[in-house]
Amino acid sequence: MSQRHPQPQSTTTEAPSIGVADRYRLLVEQSLAGMYVIEGDRFVYCNERFAQMFGYSVGEILHGLTPLMLVHESTRDVVSESLRRRLEGETLSDHYNFRGQRKGGERIDIETLGTRAVIDGKSLVIGTVLDVTERRRADEAIRESEERYALAAEGATDGLWDWDVRAGTIYFSPRWRAQIGLAISDAPERDPKRWLLRVHHDDRDRLNSALKLHLSARTPHFECEYRALHEDGTYRWMLARGQAVRDERGLATRLAGSQTDITERKLSEEKLAHDALHDALTGLPNRSLFMDRLSQAMAFQRRRADSRYACVFLDLDRFKAINESLGHVVGDRLISSVGQRLIASVRPGDTVARLGGDEFCVLFEEYANDAEPLKLVEKLQRALLPAHKIDGTELFSQASAGIALGNARYSRPEEIVRDAEIAMYRAKDEGRGGVAVFQESMHAVAQARLQMETDLRRALERGELRLAYQPVVSLGTGRIVGCEALCNWEHPQRGNIPPAEFIPIAEETGLIVPIGAWALREACSAAAALSKQSAHELTVAVNLSARQFEPELIDHVRAALAESGLPAHQLQLEITESLLMEHAGPAAPILAQLKNENVHLLLDDFGTGYSSLGYLHDFRFDALKIDRSFVARAGMGNRAELVNVIVSLARTLSMDVIAEGVETAKQAAQLQALGCQFAQGFYFSRAITAEAFAQMVREDRVFSWR
């Protein structure tokens, strides 16, 4: 034993402390990476791992092999240039990949990290190499293993630590200290407790547990993620990995490893976890997180019978019209504004979630009585009423709401959300901006609606839909000039179902598109056949739904006209004022194309809405249909002036006028006197079958009201 370093006498088997040089030698010789030192064009040092990597012994490499002899010709120029620049001092370090060549000629992929050093006046390249061939080729399990090798290869950039377990001292590399903001010039810390004190108090137990498990040989290696206090007062996420050196009895004498700053990765993981449970547009909990919190509320109620919770389903009224007329960007900003108002209006602890589109859910918990959720919902609805200022435009929103009160019969969160949604639809049916509390009787209505939807899907293919035709009469001649086609459903069990009952369901489900295409073909075919039996041309009017205003509508119209042979000007398409108001944006180009096809356009229910008079000119309507509510007033003194104004307006714009709902001779006479050209209603005929209408045409029926 050296006399310069006397050791205290001890009866224990305590391992002697080693110096810095020995410590680094231990790290180098035990390294999973190959290490080398090059002087000029020869190796002056390599570790055993380096030699094994290329299939040689250490002696073979040090006595006869040049660095370029280990490099495949495809990357030899790259390696040669890198070595030259480092040996000549042009660059200090280099980190790159090259294609290596083993002793037997086998090619391997090598990752190398090297740096220039000058020792005793000699220019050297010192570096590490890692065989990454298997990492690129292996399956997932082997790739995970190779990632550990990659971490080892990056030891020059990670913080290193070496803990002398018996002496109770620890070494931290300059890089380790830099990771937590300590200056390299600061005195190195040697006490392991100083390391633990920097660990976040929530992570200390986990770190201590991982260390103890490995020191007691219950885990093959040490690995732990934790937050470490930086000198700037923030916490950084670190990944520590290490391996113990054990004596002949298996007791750990040393524990050495690395520390990697994984803050960016952790932040990314936290963001991914947050995004998976939150709506990207509003930042509110999404459906998954809402269902989880609802499940917790249900479980809590099962444990404590006096616990109360309620689920509220909110749906914005007329949002689709805003989205279609102003665009999705404005629609998204409105949704975001609505979300902010909702979250600002609930109590602490309540949950507001966006399920998608314009649908929101709110979870109310721990309220005093069953009347309180209704008050809370009314508060939410009031919060939505003031104008939302978006890009200088004021937009107004209101929401229909359904409330389902939590009780023991709910076993899954989907059930109470379903009932809250059913109640919301009941509120919508009763008027926009309303609220309804779920009742068991609503299930029957919802099930009946679902059954009707199911039956309606089959009705078209089974031929259960029928068109009925209501005559349109000229008030000048009393003769039939056309008809309006109305769709009826001959249900095999329920009998005749009028349009008012099933058309809304067809629109909601999108079935109106195939039904509308069928009605166009059927009506055009009937009108073409009727015109052949009449002394003059007959028009046929078909109603359009908002859901039909898609580009494919043009194809449906063209196909119906082509198949039937009906001239385009004899087809009239009716659009309601409310449809025009809510869908003017997407409807405009389609209506323009229809006009270019020479199809006639009718504005239905005129006077009942709030449409701009500019629409009448912009969309080039051929006729206005006066709503039956005005016709009923036509014989009531000065109220007839309303009809007179409509007729005058139509005449100014070169449009015809058709009055609906004429039920008496007096109404017909009054409308004629006011200048109305055409009329339809029960006074002339109800909607009748194609055969019955054809009979009226053949008879050339002339109506009189004088």
Q: What are the distances in angstroms from CA 470 to CA 192, 466, 485, 626?
A: 94, 13, 7, 16
Distance CA 79, CA 101 (A): 13
What's the pLDDT score for residue 613? 64
- Is residue 209 pLDDT above 90, yes or no? yes
What's the pLDDT score for residue 557? 95
CB atoms within 10 A of CB 476: 11
- Is residue 514 pLDDT above 70, yes or no? yes
Backbone torsion region of residue 250, taken as left when φ is above 0, otherwise alpha when ψ lies between -120 and 50, otherwise beta? left
pLDDT, tens only, 236-290: 999 999 999 999 888 999 999 999 999 999 998 888 888 889 999 999 999 999 9
Average pLDDT over residues 168-179: 87
Distance CA 470, CA 269 (A): 66
Are 182 and 211 contacting, i.e. CB atoms less than 8 angstroms apart? Answer: no
What's the pLDDT score for residue 2? 38
pLDDT, tens only, 71-110: 999 999 999 999 999 988 888 888 999 999 999 999 999 9
Average pLDDT over residues 609-628: 73
Average pLDDT over residues 421-435: 86
What's the pLDDT score for residue 186? 63
| 50: enclosing H helix or E strand | helix 48-54
SS3 content of the chain, % helix, strand, coil (to 5): 45, 25, 30
What's the pLDDT score for residue 634? 55
Place of tokens 């369901």: 505
- Is residue 173 pLDDT above 60, yes or no? yes
Average pLDDT over residues 653-681: 91
DSSP string, 477-527: T-BEEEEEEEEEEEETTTEEE-HHHHHHHHHHHTTHHHHHHHHHHHHHHHH
What's the pLDDT score for residue 555? 92
Average pLDDT over residues 375-400: 90
Q: What average pLDDT does the structure give for the chain?
A: 86
Q: Would the pTM of this model clear 0.75, i.e. be above it?
A: no
Distance CA 156, CA 183 (A): 18
Are 28 and 35 contacting, i.e. CB atoms less than 8 angstroms apart? Answer: yes
Contacts of 498 (CB under 8 A, 6+ apart): 488
Distance CA 672, CA 640 (A): 12
What's the pLDDT score for residue 5? 42
Place of tokens 């009727």: 530
Distance CA 672, CA 657 (A): 11
> What are the two backbone dihedrals, phi and then psi, of residue 167, each rounded to the nearest 5 degrees?
-80, -20
Task: Collapse the DSSP code of 466 into the 3-class scheme (helix H, G, I; strand E, B; otherwise coil) and give the result.
Answer: strand
Distance CA 266, CA 184 (A): 26
- Is residue 431 pLDDT above 80, yes or no? no
Q: What is the CA radius of gyration of the chain?
A: 42
Distance CA 103, CA 53 (A): 10
pLDDT, tens only, 312-368: 999 998 888 788 778 889 999 999 999 999 999 999 989 999 999 999 999 999 888
Lowest mean pLDDT among 105-119, 399-413, 580-594, 648-662: 580-594
Q: Which one is predicted more confidently, 615 or 420? A: 420
What is the band of 306 on the pLDDT scale with cuts at 50, 70, 90?
confident
Lowest mean pLDDT among 452-456, 473-477, 662-666: 452-456
**What percent of the chain has pLDDT above 70?**
90
The type of residue at 688 is I
pLDDT, tens only, 11-55: 444 445 566 667 767 777 777 889 999 999 999 999 999 999 999
What is the band of 155 on the pLDDT scale with cuts at 50, 70, 90?
very low
| Beta strand 435-437 pairing with 656-659 | unpaired
Strands (E), 317-458: 351-356, 359-365, 388-390, 393-395, 399-405, 435-437
Backbone torsion region of residue 94, taken as left when φ is above 0, otherwise alpha when ψ lies between -120 and 50, otherwise beta? beta
- Is residue 152 pLDDT above 50, yes or no? no
**What percent of the chain has pLDDT above 90?**
51
Distance CA 636, CA 640 (A): 6
What is the band of 476 on the pLDDT scale with cuts at 50, 70, 90?
very high
